[in-house]
Amino acid sequence: MENLTALEIQKQTFSRAIKGYNTDEVRAYLHIVAEEIERLVRENDRYARENAVLREDLEDHSNRERILKDTLLSAQKVAEDLTSNARREAELIVKDAELLSERLVGQAMQRVSDLERAIQDLKLERRGARNKLQSTLDTIQQMVLLDAEQEATELPITSMFRQRES
């Protein structure tokens, strides 16, 4: 028997036998069975429709879940990429700052070295100027002493006239 329906159960006939079942009772029972099968078929149809709706909902939810997972993974990858890029950029900034500081320190050291050389040169010039000035002062002092000696030994002009007259 394939897919027995309520109508087939109700229309089913049986041959009569001598000591058989009461046909009215059989008919009444078949009628009850047919109604129950009809109710079960309707219920089964309703469950099948509900099942189809629920499967559709499940598929929608599964698709949404997959989309959310993909979105979450995408967002996580973007966040990781941003973090990685920010870290690399920070490292480059630090490296550039270190190179700049090294260059500035080098320039400052060179400037200090140049200034120290200039100070040494100025000290040498000052020493030379001081020695020259001392030498000039010594020469002037000697000239002053010589002039004082000469003045002390000189006779007045009038004495020169007197010597000529005599």
Could you say which DSSP state residue 18 is in?
T
The model carries a pTM of 0.44
- Per-position b or e across 41-68, b if 16+ CB within 10 A of its CB: eeeeeeeeeeeeeeeeeeeeeeeeeeee
Mean pLDDT calculated for residue range 54-82: 96
Position 124 in a domain: yes
List, for residues 85-129, the tens digit of each pLDDT value.
999 999 999 999 999 999 999 999 999 999 999 999 999 999 999
**Domain span at 28:** 6-148
Position 32 in a domain: yes
**Where do we find the tokens 């879940």?**
65
What was the pLDDT predicted at 1? 45
More confident residue, 139 or 3: 139
DSSP helix/strand/coil, 4:
coil
The identity of residue 54, as a single letter, is L
Number of domains into which the chain is organized = 1
